[in-house]
Amino acid sequence: MKKILNTIWVMGVLTLAVFCLSACDRDLDVQQSYPFTVETMPVQKDIIRGQTAEIRCTLRRGGEFADTRYTIRYFQSDGKGLLRNDNGMVFKPNDRYHLTKII
């Protein structure tokens, strides 16, 4: 009788171990893209040479995530001009710039 109970106990422990270990996965679930939206105010259509037009953009994050970095890149599809940030730094087309300022 003791041998049967011992065998049942060992089988129970092995079943529990198989059940617990089968739920494990070697791959880490690392998320590298985070939800966000970019909101812009309307931009005036007619800008004369030498005139400055303000483009206001707001990045709305989908949550607070540790070590998240956002970047911006722009393309000028028509016309000529420069794009500057609020510090006066001129952006070059198709270059990537880190967004560091949180308002």
pLDDT the model gives residue 24 = 65
Average pLDDT value for the chain: 83
pTM for the full predicted model: 0.55
**Rg of the chain in Å (alpha carbons):** 29
- Nearest-CA neighbor of 47 among 23, 79, 2, 20? 79
Instruction: Tell me how far apart the alpha carbons of residues 70 and 98 are, in angstroms, rounded to a whole number.
Output: 6
**Residue-level pLDDT at 55:** 86
The ranges of the chain with pLDDT < 50 are: none
Parse the chain into domains and list their residue ranges: 29-102
Residues 57, 59, 73, 76, CA torsion sign: negative
Phi-psi region at 79: left, alpha or beta (left = phi > 0; alpha = psi -120 to 50): left
The CATH code that applies to domain 29-102 is 2.60.40.2410
Asked whether the beta carbons of 103 and 86 are under 8 A apart, the reply is: no
CB atoms within 10 A of CB 27: 5
Torsion of CA 76, 80, 85, 87, to 10 degrees: 160
